[in-house]
Amino acid sequence: MNLPLLSLKSLISKPLTSILSWLLLTFGVCIVTLILLVSDQLKSEINKNAAGINMVVGAKGSPLQIILSSIFHIDFPTGNISLKQADQLSKNRFITSAVPLSLGDSYRGRRIVGTTIAYPQLYQAQLSQGDWFVEDLEAVIGAEVANELSLKIGDEFASQHGLDEAGDDHGHHDFHVVGIMAPTNTVMDRLIIVSVRSVWLVHEHEEKQHAEEHHLEDSMFYLKRLKLEVTKEELENGAITSLLLTYKSPMAAVMLPRTINAMPDLQAASPAFETARLFNIIGTGVQVLNILGMVVVIISGISIFIALLNSLKERKYEIAIMRSLGASQSAIFIHVILEGFFLSVLGGITGLLVAHIGIGILGDTIDGLNTEVFFFLYEEVYILLGAIGLGFTASILPAIFALKTDISTTLSKG
């Protein structure tokens, strides 16, 4: 027999109250941990995807929407900007690179992005199989797309208009897969990338406005910054969705937005600013949930406190007997403290485990979350220590009452 065993037996002998305290603590720790894990993964996800992009230029509208649609590919684009304007802007002396994006089509829910090779290069994406797209209607797909839609090199698919699965087919213009990218853990994994002209081509044919021969006969222009080769006609009438800009100097952050926003059709959006704004919006909700989690944790502490205090009434005689058998006051103190300690360690650990299992399940259903169940953050150590500290604090007072038990008075009462 020893003190820890004695405390454990005491907990087991009152299973209902012990389980209640344990469940409450598990629940509270689980909420706090889950929030920590989700917000951390969201943040790292956002930072990873926005890395290297200083500014996004799109059609007039909400800057947040531009960021969400052009960087994270989750919202709808604000509209189109003309290629001519984009080209002019790309020649600005504050810019080192400008990547054109043409959005709006999808295949079975995966977004098709008309762009140049510079786009995957922003994310250091490598090919795991095949080649980058060169010709019209050649497509390179992200690792996740390849996996989930079981697409292989040489497979053909028809794009759909719109960004959800309910869009109309674009008809017979079949894309074919020429390359598959290696996983990058960024938004790139979930995209299908094609050339800008491929997107135009699909739309032109649908609209059937132009004769087919035009771009064979026209002389070609090379737009240097955009790395696009277009016909004169395309330069005049073509449109893209947005431009991803990289600054040449910090001065650009001051000068460019003003210049761009002064143009009637363009809207500049800063990823850093907009994601900070996004965090602010989410932050309130996160805080409310966090407070809820803390409240549950504190309630579990109170429940440990009450359970111990209640049991002391019954165990007064047992404690007096232990003292008469030679137990010191400190032994009694430790005996009671250990009960709170065991409960809080158990609750803390199961809380963390449940949170990690929960994030594993969430990761499978929500795109873009790290699905690794056993990805631990150092903050979790603080949560565990906090839970244990709480159990300790909750049992201090009962333990003091226990050690102060007047053995003579208690035992002389019968």
Q: How far is the CB of 356 from other proteins (least distance, A)?
A: 33
Q: Which of 44, 147, 249, 329 binds other proteins (CB under 8 A)?
A: 329
The residue from 136, 206, 318, 367 that contacts other proteins (CB under 8 A) is 318
Residue 321 near other proteins by CB under 8 A: yes
Asked if 323 interacts with other proteins (CB under 8 A), we say yes
Q: Kindly tell me which of 13 and 219 has the beta carbon lying closer to other proteins.
A: 13
Q: How far is the CB of 74 from other proteins (least distance, A)?
A: 56
- Total interface residues for other proteins by CB under 8 A: 28
The distance of closest approach from Cβ of residue 6 to other proteins in the complex, given in angstroms and rounded to an integer, is: 7
| Site membership for other proteins, residue 9 (CB under 8 A) | yes
Cβ–Cβ under 8 Å, residues 20 and 303:
yes
Q: How far is CA 339 from the centre of its chain?
A: 38
Among 324, 377, 381, 382, binds other proteins (CB under 8 A): 324
Binding mask 11-30 for other proteins (x = CB under 8 A): -xxx----------------
Query: Can you tell me whether residue 368 is helix, strand or coil?
Result: coil
**Min CB(345)–other proteins separation in Å:** 19
Burial letters 26-64, b for 16+ CB under 10 A, else e: bbbbbbbbbbbbbbebbeebbeebbeebbbbbbbeeebb
Separation of alpha carbons 392 and 395, rounded Å? 5
On whether the CB atoms of residues 347 and 387 are closer than 8 A, the answer is yes
The CA distance from 305 to 8, in Å, is: 16
CA–CA distance, 130 with 169 (Å, rounded to integer): 26
3-state secondary structure of 398: helix
Note whether 331 binds other proteins by CB under 8 A: yes
Cα 169 to the center of its chain, rounded Å: 31
CA distances from 121 to 53, 97, 181, 256, 261 (A): 12, 12, 11, 23, 28
**Phi, psi values for residue 166, rounded to 5°:** -90, 0
Closest CA to 196 of 139, 243, 240: 240
> How far apart are CB 414 and other proteins at their closest, in Å?
6
- Among 251-259, 269-277, 291-299, 324-332, which window interacts with other proteins (CB under 8 A)? 324-332
Tell whether residue 328 is a contact of other proteins (CB under 8 A): yes
Applying CB under 8 A, which part among 61-69, 74-82, 297-305, 403-411 lies near other proteins?
403-411
Residue 1 engages other proteins in binding (rule: CB under 8 A): yes
* Residue 86 binds to other proteins (criterion: CB under 8 A): no
Stretch that binds other proteins, among 1-9, 174-182, 267-275, 377-385 (CB under 8 A): 1-9
Chain contacts with other proteins (rule: CB under 8 A)? 1-2, 6, 9-10, 12-14, 314, 317-318, 320-331, 407-408, 411-412, 414
